[in-house]
Structure 1
Amino acid sequence: MEQTRQVLHKVETTPLLPTSSFSDHENKSHQTQKLSFTLHPRSSILSHENNCENYTSLTLARLARDSARVNSISLSVAKPHQFESPLTSGAGQGSGEYFARIGVGQPVKQTYFVIDTGSDITWLQCNPCADCYHQSDPIFDPSGSSTYKPLSCSSDRCAALQISACSQAGTCLYQVSYGDGSSTSGDFATETVTFGGGTRSVPDIALGCGHDNEGLFVGAAGLLGLGGGALSLPSQIKATSFSYCLVDRDSTSSSTLEFNSAQPADSILAPLLKNSAINTYYYVGLTGFNVGGNDVAIPVGTFEIGNDGRGGVIVDSGTAVTRLRTEAYNPLRDAFRQMTQDLPSASGFALFDTCYDLSSIKRVKVPTVSLRFAGGKTLDLRGNNFLIPVSDAGIYCFAFAPTGGQLSILGNIQQQGTRVSYNLATKSVGFSPNKC
């Protein structure tokens, strides 16, 4: 897909192939303060996804995972002061779409983690297993690592857990529960984490060593918590920034997750906002949209965070489809429909209500969709960031969906092909297209 005029894109209508390819990440001189992981899309790691009956089945499975995640996030924000158990992101529903290859322990054991900006706790499956699911790599055995150290119940990091307990030996136990009843529990400990295939190690990282992991987890060894809380990986390594670039989820290409690297000079900046009710999520100052170069009229205050902590817009690496409050979604959808009346329509698909039958069209022009941020900056989305294939029969759908709640979520379909950089020092998030 390429931009043909200021307000138009061309979209290739070959649903079983990636709509664009991405070059390898640019080699940079080694900086001791910079840490980097390789990122892989879910489809390149989990071969069973490629064995789905067809692309329609694969899409439906993805959307089911996605909806479970959104429900979990929405519930955690809707009741920020009523936690009886931690209700984090939807990774428990198997909704992780991007995996990082990370080394744990000494000697180093390389394994895959789901990256999640909607969670704080990093954890992985550990032997001995009371209940463990299938993962791509051997399950980590802490008894074989010289750098594994259980945390005591009296430690500050144990106290920072939302749910913790003491073992008979006085060591810290953790539990994280997810929205569908999935959970992970075990020992809370510190370990050495190795970045970049072994080029840099960071000791004393607090993580969960899960001996009982139940529910619909799949593939990865565990979860890498990139949220804004005190126990997240960025907080523990005192990162001033981190960034990622998500390749097309049907691609076999990879990219990087980086800490303390310079923000691309061409980044379109938006403010990161604080929600005093919850510090895990990254709230962004989204104010509206343009379609075909024209402003979309939405009510003032639609995306504001309320005094009760509800509302606002979060940027999330694990949610696929952007969810918008109906007050914003309906006018955005209507504006897009108005400018695509010449395209053959198709029936709605799962959560999508605006779809097109492009099976007989080799290339199609669609209006540019842009995100508007506080401060006046605008991010133009590529065509495959908002019009995506959902079947192997040439059906494409508008990749936004309404939510009945007050929280809106900027999902990873809209982030693909863009380096998203979180500057934790200046409280801003940058979007730099074509930096994978």
Structure 2
Amino acid sequence: MAAASSILLLLLLLVAAPLSSVASIGKVITYGAKAVRPIAKKATKAYMKNEVKERIQDLSGQTNNDGQLGSSAASSYGALVFELSLGSGTSAQNLSVVMDITSELVWAQCDRCSSSSCVRQTPADTPTFISQRSHSFNKISCNEKSCQDFIRGPGNICRSAGDRCEYTERFVGSGSTSGYLANETFTFGTTAFPDMLFGCGGDIRLPGLAVAGASGFAGFSRSPLSLVSQLDISQFSYLIDNSGDRSFLSWSIGQAADTALAKGSRITPLLVPKRKQNPYWYYVKLTGVKVNDQLLTDIPAGTFDVGADGSGGVFLSTTLPVTYLEQAAYNVLRRGVLHNCVC
């Protein structure tokens, strides 16, 4: 879906209804995260400029015989941010993290940049976790299993077994963060979870994605190192409301629980990733697109199917500021929106 041939569909077309999703992964103690809020990030244009450099086509602002569907109004977008307490007892430090359902790791801006090559694309006043102040912080070495599980790829370095486990995590769209892995205590409410795997972030390269007031990301993907896997979260739900009035994030831990649905609501099942797809993402089956409740029948059959090489398909994201569509679907949707536009 995010291949180089993809065309941008601006989120502006979708903001009339808040984004909502429920992901069920299997098992009851419900924890409702507090202080969840959408953060307005006035960076959509900068984000797309960077994406165009990466050969992602952006036709949203171009003009043709059908008229213009511009991107100028989409200047900001929201993300779910919640408080995470790192450390234990009197040494605990509270930081804000962004919920990201495509990320593998929980990480935060950590310690101070110790070299001139350190790059942090975050505001100067971003809260930083100081590991030396924590009584429960333990670095992970290269010979530990948790390190071996994560250091896939050439960007992650382990020269010898005694070295600290260094990592690089790359994000959907663009950007990356690097640092080293450690174990730390996470506290939610009054419940503490010791020995949680945590990324101590040094370099933070997230062009157009810096979130004012947030120190890092909380990975909610299917990865064995995500918060979902480490806490054995059986199901989680979230709502992104750009007004900030109804945004929430909640999850359940424990034995199998039924998802309570409001009367008349429906649930879209998650798909099992196919071979060559990312095994940690949440895929759904998109069967069609409607404009003003009219199905766009001109979208070619198979447009949203998964290819033999793993391309195509539809996955969910809580951090991308835009929605991507293949050009064949985008062209039809564009015509449908312009035909129904009262402007």
Instruction: Please give the TM-score of this superposition, normalised by the length of structure 1.
Output: 0.56
Give runs of aligned pairs for residues 98-177 of structure 1, distance below 5 A. Answer: 98-106=80-88, 107-130=91-114, 131=118, 132=120, 133-134=122-123, 138-161=127-150, 162=152, 163-166=155-158, 169-177=162-170
On the 8 A contact 1:190/1:205 being kept in 2, the answer is: yes
CA displacement 1:55-78 (0-9 Å, x = unmatched): xxx4xx32432564798798xxxx
Q: Please tell me whether the aligned partners of residues 229 and 280 of structure 1 are also in contact (alpha carbons under 8 angstroms).
A: yes
Change (3 A) 1:63 1:115: farther
Asked if structure 2 preserves the Cα contact closer than 8 Å seen for 1:72 and 1:178, the reply is no
SS in 2 for 1:115: strand
> In the TM superposition, what whole-angstrom CA distance separates every residue of 1:297-336 from its partner, at most 9, and x where no partner exists?
1222111111211000111111233221122222222223
Aligned to 1:268: 266
From the superposition, tell whether residues 96 and 206 of structure 1 become closer, same or farther in structure 2 (CA, over 3 Å).
farther
Kindly provide the amino acid, as one letter, of the partner of residue 274 in structure 2.
N
8 Å CA contact 1:111–1:137 kept in 2: the answer is: no
CA contact (8 A) 1:37 1:102 kept: no
- Whole-Å separation in 2 of the counterparts to 1:243 and 1:129: 36
Preserved contact between residue 152 and residue 171 of structure 1 (Cα < 8 Å): yes
- Distance (whole Å) between structure 2 residues aligned to residue 95 and residue 124 of structure 1: 21
Q: Deviations over 1:344-394 (max 9, x none)?
A: 2xxxxxxxxxxxxxxxxxxxxxxxxxxxxxxxxxxxxxxxxxxxxxxxxxx
Residues 394-415 of structure 1, C-alpha deviation per residue, up to 9 Å, x if partnerless?
Answer: xxxxxxxxxxxxxxxxxxxxxx
Match for 2:168: what amino acid?
A: Q
**CA contact under 8 A between 1:283 and 1:315: conserved in structure 2?**
yes
Q: Structure 1: which amino acid aligns with 2:37?
A: H
2:295 equivalent in structure 1:
295
Change (3 A) 1:178 1:240: closer
Partner of 1:271, secondary structure, is coil
Aligned-CA RMSD value: 3.4
Amino acid at match of 1:97: A
Structure 1 230/303 Cα, relative in aligned 2: closer, same or farther at 3 Å?
same
Residue 245 of structure 1: how far off its partner (Å): 0.9
Question: What amino acid is aligned across from residue 107 of structure 2 in structure 1?
Answer: W
* CA deviations over 1:15-53 (Å, ceiling 9, x no partner): 9xx9799xxxxxxxxxx722332321113xxxxx6xxxx
Give distance in 1, aligned partners of 2:174 and 2:291: 40
> Which residue is 1:236 aligned to?
230
Match of 2:191 in 1: 200
Q: Distance in 1 between matches of 2:318 and 2:50?
A: 15
The answer (yes or no) to whether the contact 1:147–1:191 under 8 Å persists in 2 is: yes
Any unmatched runs of 5+ in structure 1?
Answer: 1-14, 22-31, 44-48, 50-57, 75-93, 345-436
Question: 1:8 — aligned with what?
Answer: none
User: Does the 8 A contact of 2:178 with 2:203 survive in 1?
Assistant: yes
SS class of match (1:286): coil
Paired residues for 1:273-422 under 5 Å: 273=271, 274-277=273-276, 278-297=278-297, 298-340=299-341, 343-344=342-343
Q: Distance in 2 between matches of 1:286 and 1:180?
A: 21
- Shift of the 326–282 alpha-carbon distance from structure 1 to 2, 3 Å rule, reads same
Partner of 1:256: 248
Q: In structure 2, what residue type is equivalent to 1:33?
A: I
CA distance 1:272–1:289, change in 2 (3 Å): same
Q: Distance in 2 between matches of 1:179 and 1:315?
A: 11
The code of the aligned residue for 2:275 comes to: S
Structure 2 unaligned runs (5+)? Answer: 1-11, 19-27, 57-75
Superposed, which structure 2 residues align to 1:30-41 within 5 Å? 33-38=29-34, 39-41=36-38
What SS does structure 2 have at the residue aligned with 1:166?
coil
**Match of 1:160, SS?**
helix
Structure 2 match to 1:358 = none
Residues matched between the structures, number: 279
Deviation track 1:87-144 (CA, whole Å, cap 9, x = no partner) reads xxxxxxx987332221111232111112211211221111142334436553111121
Once residues 70 and 192 of structure 1 are traced to their aligned partners in structure 2, the CA distance between those partners, rounded to angstroms, is: 40
Given that 1:245 and 1:256 are in contact with CA atoms closer than 8 Å, whether structure 2 keeps it comes out as yes
Deviation of 1:165 after TM superposition, in Å, equals 2.6
Normalized per residue, which structure has more strand?
1
Structure 2 SS opposite 1:337: helix
Give the match's secondary structure for 1:258: strand
Describe the shift of the 1:215–1:239 C-alpha distance in structure 2 as closer, same or farther (beyond 3 A): closer
If asked which structure has higher relative contact order (CA below 8 Å, sep 6+), I would say 2
SS at 2:311 equivalent: coil
2: CA distance, partners of 1:115 / 1:96: 11
Q: Residues 19 and 291 (structure 1 numbering): CA distance in 2 closer, same or farther, change over 3 Å?
A: closer
Question: Contact (CA 8 Å) 2:79, 2:240: kept in 1 or not?
Answer: no
Distance 1:302 1:281, change over 3 A: same
